[in-house]
Structure 1
Amino acid sequence: MPKSTEVLPECTQLKDPGKLRPFLEAFTSRLLNLGHTRLTVSSYEASARHFGQWLQSTKIAITEIDDDVVRALRSIEGLDWKRVHAPSETRTAIKAG
C-alpha cells in the first residue's frame, strides 16, 4: 500500500501555530518529502501547533525558544511530553534527512 503524502485536514484546523506557521509549513513539507506518512506528519504537526499556541498564550517570542522553554512546555500536566522535542533534537532530525 503506497504512503499518502496528504496531511490530514483535521489537523490543520486544531490549533493556531501563530508565528510558528512558516516554520511549521516548512517542517511538514520536509517530512513529507522525506517520505513520512500523512499520519506521522499530522502527529508532529499537531504537537507543533500546540507548541505555537502555547507560545502565544505565554507571550514567549520565537527568538526566546530554547531547551528551557521546551522543558517548561513538557512540564504541563497531561501533555504527551515524549512527542515534544527539544529544538536541538528537531534541528538534528531535519539535518539528518
Structure 2
Amino acid sequence: MGTYAFAAWTALGDPSRQHIFALLAERPRSVTEIARDLPISRPAVSQHLRVLKQAHLVRVRSEGTRRIYQVDPEGLAILREDLDRFWNKTLENFKQIVEQETE
C-alpha cells in the first residue's frame, strides 16, 4: 500500500469525510452545497475537504468566485487497486483452504 493510499484510507476513517466523499461521488459541489447536507459548519466542511484533498481523494476548481470540489479519479483508482489486492489475496486464501479440505 502506497503512502497516498494509506492517507486516503485514514482520511476516510472519519464519518463526516465519508459523507462528504459520498456526496462528491454523486456530483461536484461547492462547500455551501456540501454544508447544507451535513450537521456541521461550512468552516468544518472546508477543513474536511482540505484533508480529503491532501489525501488525493478530491480535486478543486474555481468557477467564478466559487470553489467546486469533485472526486479525484486518480486517488479513487489507488483505493480501488488496494481493494482489488485485498480481494485477490482473500480469494487465493479461500482457494488454498478449499483445496486442502478436498485432499
Structure-2-length-normalised TM-score: 0.29
Structure (1/2) with the larger strand percentage: 2
Structure-1-length-normalised TM-score: 0.30
